[in-house]
Amino acid sequence: MSECGCGCGHDHDHVHEEMEMETLTLTLDDDTELECGILGVFSVEGIEGKEYIALLPMEDETVLLYEYKEDEEGIELLNIESDEDFDKVSAAFEDLFDEED
């Protein structure tokens, strides 16, 4: 089993095989589209009023983390601008992912 390289110690290819996950298509800055599995939407202690989403590209092993907003117009994904917030979100994702195993 090979590790994914995102630091969580899991083989994400195995995750794709084990469970059917919901997917979404992410359009990148260069207009290419990336099909991603949705690992989860979660909040982070210490960051009030925001939710985050963890995505796993189907053709890659790197987990992508974004700020997640949903309203009547649809879903909006925003980059996490602050390094401090990104570190908190990454740690929260790792904690949640480890708890699911």
Per-residue pLDDT, 84: 96
Ordered strands of the 47-57 beta sheet: 23-27, 33-44, 47-57, 64-71, 74-78
Alpha carbon of 51 to those of 3, 19, 32, 38: distances in Å? Answer: 27, 24, 25, 14
What would the pLDDT profile of 10-62 be if each residue is shown by its tens digit? 554 544 444 577 999 988 889 999 999 999 999 999 999 999 999 999 988 89
DSSP 30: T
Residue 73 maps to a domain = yes
Task: Kindly state whether residue 54 falls inside one of the protein's structural domains.
Answer: yes
User: CA–CA separation, 57 vs 32, rounded Å?
Assistant: 13
Is 1 a member of any domain? Answer: no
Give the number of domains in the chain: 1
And the tokens for 91? Answer: 């740690």
Residue 69 lies in a domain: yes
Domain range for 51 is 12-100
Residue 3 falls within a domain, yes or no? no
pLDDT for res 20:
76
Q: Rounded to an integer, what distance in angstroms lies between the CA atom of residue 15 and that of residue 18?
A: 5
Residue 50 inside a domain? The answer is yes
Interatomic CA distance for residues 58 and 44, integer angstroms: 25
In a domain, 36, yes or no: yes
**Is residue 35 domain-resident?**
yes
